[in-house]
Amino acid sequence: MSETVTVKREECFGDAVCTAVLPEIFDMGEDGKVNLIKESTTLRKELLEAISLCPARIIGLSLKD
């Protein structure tokens, strides 16, 4: 089992909070919504911070086989 980062891209507010906290895996698309560069990271503290700071509450973690 491994943890996978998920994001409901269509609901993104486009405020770039997550990209400021964790640019390793989040990037802003040209349409003003977040892009997920990678689905996992070892930077767990930063990931949990991005999850808690996202105003749209659309960043999550899911378990994958």
| Cα–Cα dist 13/43, whole Å | 23
Q: Does residue 55 bind ligand SF4 (CB under 6 A)? A: yes
One residue of 36, 43, 48, 58 binding ligand SF4 per CB under 6 A: 58
Distance of CA 26 to the CA centre of its chain: 5
CB of 32 to ligand SF4, least distance (A): 9
Q: Within 10 Å of residue 17's Cβ, how many Cβ atoms? A: 18
* Residue 2: CB minimum distance to ligand SF4, A: 21
* 7 forms part of the interface with ligand SF4 (CB under 6 A): yes
Based on its alpha-carbon atoms, the radius of gyration of the chain, rounded to whole angstroms, reads 11
Q: How far is the CB of 64 from ligand SF4 (least distance, A)?
A: 20
